[in-house]
Structure 1
Amino acid sequence: MILPFEPYNPTWKDQFNTIKRELDKLLLPIKASVDHIGSTSVEGLSAKPIIDIIVGLEDENDLDKVPALLANRQYVYYEKYNIDMPYRRFFVLLREKPDKLGLPTCIGTFDKIPDRLNDHALRIAHIHVIPKNSENWVRHIAFRDYLRTHPNVKDEYQALKEGLIKHEWQDGNDYNEGKDAFLQVEEKRAIEWYLAQK
């Protein structure tokens, strides 16, 4: 599978703002903040044209309220991932409602992920729901802000991604594993830098 990879596009910020407005309304019953993360949130950085969004929850007990609040819309809930990442709830926002595409609205714990869901052309955004007081929320926000303020690191990350995208990957998870060594080092530096700003 060849993943789509595009130069930075200013419309990604507009796409995020549109999705944020919807999420702010849908998540009104709980205390949540919606932020743009990932490569599409860093001006000048190439990326897969899928908007990464982090929803920070004030109360960890609200994690399992989110699937019902996003139900019957264009979101697919990956309940399957809760086993490996119990601190997170993950959703993919599709271009149409899943049932119109012949896809499930939820990938259960023991379900196989349909091959069609690996078609990145169907995806608009990835939604990561995480408690705000967790190290994982800090990691995502810190790395985004670090890339925005450290052009040399951004350029190094860009070069890595350009090399990786030339390979054929089974899915997006394999591609992400190719970035792991770089991310482990730079995310640690980003967190130290971010916490020092506080």
Structure 2
Amino acid sequence: MKLGLNSDEVKLMDYTPAWNEEFMRVKEELAEKTALDENRIQHIGSTAIKGMAAKPIIDILVGVNDLSKVDKSLFKGFSRAGFLRLKAERPGEIVLAKFTDDTYEVKTHFIHLVEYQKELWNNLIFFRDYLNSNEAARKQYLEIKLEYLKNSSIGVNEYTDFKEEFVKDIFKKRTD
């Protein structure tokens, strides 16, 4: 299993159970190095959806009680596990990444640090679980991804924007 993409590269690989095995390995390491409870470390994103082609990057959701009160020791634990905080600013989220080497060009894993069991946490878990249990939604999501790739293999932000309407529609189902 080869993990990782360059900064703005968009490429899909066929699903492999090795993605979940890698997540489980990293989850154990994160729990050990940060003292976080394992239920606060979840596999999300397309690599967590069985049968889904995905960018070969493992997305990890980590939940804390209060994002504004995250202390340096947690970031030191992430660092010991090979994760670095990114400059990317997102509302209600701190993003960290793991890279293949010291050039910091190829990212292999992301941590999405959010508030535990709050709206973003719940939406991301719901999205994963909904797609894992709904074949029609899985197929539709894959079609959207492939449609984007017909025209471009770069532009991570554009790729995310292209999928946004579908993702938000799934989020809405959680509260309907």
TM tier, smaller: 0.7 to 0.9
1:90 paired to 2:74: no
* Deviating more after overlay: 124-133 vs 69-78: 69-78
1:162: how far off? 1.1
1:161 paired to 2:161: no
1:128 paired to 2:112: yes
**1:51 equivalent among 30, 54, 58:** 58
- Provide the residue aligned with 2:5 in structure 1: none
Matches within 5 A, 1:110-129: 117=105, 122-129=106-113
8 A Cα contact 1:27 1:69, kept in partner: yes
- Provide the residue aligned with 1:24 in structure 2: 31
Q: Separation in 1 of the partners of 2:127 and 2:80? A: 33
Gapped regions of structure 1 (runs ≥ 5): 104-116, 194-198
1:152 paired to 2:160: no
AA paired with 1:71? S
Larger radius of gyration: 1
How many corresponding residue pairs? Answer: 167
CA RMSD of aligned residues (A): 2.1
8 A Cα contact 1:31 1:57, kept in partner: no
1:123: how far off? 1.9
Q: Separation in 2 of the partners of 1:73 and 1:24? A: 10
Matches within 5 A, 1:57-96: 57-65=64-72, 66-71=74-79, 74-78=82-86, 80-82=87-89, 84-85=90-91, 87-96=92-101
TM-score for both structures, normalised by structure 1: 0.75
More strand per residue: 2
- Provide the residue aligned with 1:187 in structure 2: 171
| Secondary structure in 1 matching 2:112 | strand
TM-score for both structures, normalised by structure 2: 0.84
1:14 paired to 2:21: yes
Gapped regions of structure 2 (runs ≥ 5): 1-7
* Deviating more after overlay: 38-47 vs 53-62: 53-62
